Amino acid sequence: MWFKRKQKVRECIPEIRKELDDARYVSYRKDGAKGRELHIVGSKYPMKGNPNPIGLKAIGPLKSLFDKILQSRISAIIPHEINQDKLTPICKELARVFDLLIEAESLYGMKQRWLNYKRVMIFFLENDLAYRYRMQWMLQRMNLKKIALDDGDKYYFRAKNFRVDLEDEWKETLKKYPKLDVEAFKKYIWPGDVPEEVSRSKVPMIKLAEEFIKL
């Protein structure tokens, strides 16, 4: 005998369910720009866009496959790495921004993941002129004002285990330790040996500054 599996329904008090449905709604941007905003009950800002449940389900296995191939397999077979000081200007700049991203990640696993992404991307762009020129052509035409995080973006980004206000942390550290030279501080945070940086990045910024002063 076959039994039809009963579909699970998330329990919720009807009055609260209605309140959430009324408060959590999608609307078009008031400024007339393309795109939607998701208004979430209790949140300070609306969230840009409205992630589709079907799309989110598809992203899971794709991210897993992407990580296994790009992060683990390809990164492991890169024969050598060029010192960042000897990279072409675009790769040198991309490497610098990758280092910032790695520094801003709060979780060690994410730091290692972005380190591998960096190794793969820099390797390809440094050695393949066709890819590098196309990347330069594309980046040159981007409107940075449309890319920059606004207050709403930062509000939601802070919940993603990421130190969104990294530069502000640095400014506070330099104020607290006036003897710490800015350039020396940057070199300490971005050493040439990136694996060492990943290890150091687990230490809070203030602790890094204290260690540097004791040297």
Q: Provide the number of structural domains found in the chain.
A: 1
Burial class (CB in 10 A: 0-12, 13-18, 19+), 64: exposed
* CA atoms of 8 and 192, how far apart (whole Å): 53
What is the pLDDT at residue 179? 73
Give yes or no for residue 28 having a pLDDT over 60.
no
Helical packing angle, 129-140 and 108-127, nearest 10°: 110
Lowest mean pLDDT among 22-31, 84-93, 108-117: 22-31
Q: Is residue 157 part of a domain?
A: no
What amino acid is encoded at 194 in this protein?
V
Tell me: pLDDT of 212 over 70.
no
Beta bridge partners, 47, equal 38
Q: Is residue 125's pLDDT more than 80?
A: yes
- Mean pLDDT, the chain, rounded, equals 74
Using CA atoms of 73, 74, 77, 83 in order, give the dihedral in degrees to the nearest 10.
-130
Helix or strand (DSSP H, E) at 16: helix 14-23
3-class SS at 12? Answer: coil
How do the residues of the chain divide into helix, strand and coil, expressed in percent and rounded to 5? Answer: 65, 5, 30
Residue 15 belongs to what domain range?
A: 11-50
Give a yes or no: residue 207 inside a domain: no
Alpha carbon separation from 156 to 3, 83, 138, 179 (Å, rounded): 43, 36, 28, 35
